[in-house]
């Protein structure tokens, strides 16, 4: 009769690498001597001195997102290749390691979440908060109707210099920050109107109703995307900002950095 250990052994048999998410030093040492297996650490810092390391800019609450980020980062850095079988070891419930899952690295299934958070000028937590507002708007819309929105996060001074107001700025004399539940409700309400939101590196909402004016010459975006996406591509090419766009026409959330589309996903599937 097979034991539970025998059955669970299938999870790790034949894997090409082990991914450890924020391991303790002692746990890393126990696995670092595995024969013929790469051990990749995904964590906020490389406190264990791992030779293969992917920086985790924030601890995603959702373990699936944490694993997806680590795998995408490893592929981006050339640590892992498309088709590799990976044993991902993480914490879900307690302080210690309690979760093991087997995942196949697949370049075609990239969400772009690594590109969204990696090497961003704005605080990663701010980008996450704005991203979640866009996702929720995409799922629920505004009063049951689809809505479009454009959030420009980081490098706010340059963004303001390359834009002009379309109307009064409701945030001009305020010091509110994205992530506050009440502020997020305000963002969703103001999203009904034209113009972009400008948000600082630290999450302060600098302005709403901004018309972005960078030159779109040379900006290459996928066919079928409109002016809001073109503006997002152009402003991120000319500044160090990250742009997050919710499309009113197809309901997808897209992100731009450095003038390029780095993420595209359906809020209903996130």
Quick: pLDDT tens for 93-107: 877 788 899 999 986
Backbone angles phi, psi at 120, to 5 degrees: -95, 145
Give the pLDDT confidence score for residue 101 in this predicted structure: 92
pLDDT of 2 higher than 70: no
CATH code of 115-269, in short, is 3.40.1700.10
Bridge partners of 149, per DSSP, are 246
CATH superfamily of 4-110: Pyruvate kinase, C-terminal domain (3.40.1380.20)
Res. 142 pLDDT band, cuts 50 70 90: low
pLDDT tier for residue 217 given thresholds of 50, 70 and 90: confident
Question: How buried is residue 175: exposed, middle or buried, by Cβ count under 10 Å (0-12/13-18/19+)?
Answer: exposed
pLDDT exceeds cutoff 90 at 240:
yes
Name the pLDDT band for 133 (thresholds 50, 70, 90).
very high
Res 73 pLDDT > 70 = yes
User: Which has more pLDDT, 94 or 223?
Assistant: 223
Q: What is the mean pLDDT of the chain?
A: 89
Reading the block at residue 155, the tokens are 């490098």
DSSP assigned state of 191? T
220-257 per-residue burial string, b: 16 or more CB within 10 A, e: under 16: ebeeebeebbbbbbbbbbbbbbbbbbbbbeebbbbbbb
Provide the strand spans (E) within the chain: 17-21, 38-43, 52-55, 85-90, 99-104, 149-153, 163-165, 196-199, 205-212, 242-246, 253-257, 260-265
Rounded percentage of the chain residues whose pLDDT exceeds 70 = 97
* CA gap 214, 108 in Å, rounded: 32
The ranges assigned to domains in the chain are 4-110, 115-269
* Residue 70 reports pLDDT greater than 90: yes
Contact 212, 117 (CB under 8 A): no
Q: Which residues is 196 bridged to in the sheet?
A: 210
**Tell me, what's the pLDDT at 109?**
59
pLDDT band at 183 (very low <50, low <70, confident <90, very high): confident
For the stretch 39-59, pLDDT in tens is 999 999 999 999 999 999 887
The C-alpha atoms of residue 113 and residue 111 are separated, in whole angstroms, by 5
Give me the pLDDT at residue 6, please. Answer: 77
Model pTM score: 0.83
């Amino acid at each position: 009769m097979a034991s539970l250990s025998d059955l669970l052994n299938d999870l790790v048999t034949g894997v090409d690498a082990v991914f450890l998410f924020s391991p303790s030093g002692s746990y890393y040492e126990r696995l670092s001597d595995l024969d013929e297996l790469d051990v990749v650490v995904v964590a906020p810092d490389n406190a264990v001195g791992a030779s293969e390391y992917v920086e985790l800019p924030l601890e995603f609450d959702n373990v699936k997102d944490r694993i997806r980020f680590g795998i995408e980062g490893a592929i981006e850095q050339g640590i892992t290749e498309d088709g590799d079988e990976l044993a991902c070891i993480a914490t879900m419930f307690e302080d210690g390691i309690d979760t093991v899952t087997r995942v196949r690295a697949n370049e075609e299934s990239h969400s772009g979440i690594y590109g969204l958070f990696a090497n961003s000028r704005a605080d990663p937590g701010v980008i996450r908060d704005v991203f979640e507002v866009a996702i929720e708007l995409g799922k629920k819309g505004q009063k049951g109707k689809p809505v479009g929105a454009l959030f420009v996060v980081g490098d706010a001074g340059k963004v303001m210099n390359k834009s002009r107001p379309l109307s009064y700025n409701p945030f001009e004399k305020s010091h509110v920050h994205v992530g506050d539940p009440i502020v997020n409700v305000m963002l969703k309400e103001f999203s009904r109107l034209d113009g972009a939101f400008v948000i600082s590196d630290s999450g302060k909402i600098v302005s709403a109703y901004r018309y972005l004016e960078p030159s779109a010459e040379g900006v290459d975006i996928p066919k079928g995307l409109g002016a809001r996406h073109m503006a997002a591509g152009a402003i991120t090419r000319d500044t160090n900002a990250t742009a997050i766009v919710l499309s009113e026409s197809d309901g997808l959330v897209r992100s731009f950095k450095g003038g390029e589309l780095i993420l595209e996903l359906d809020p209903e599937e996130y």
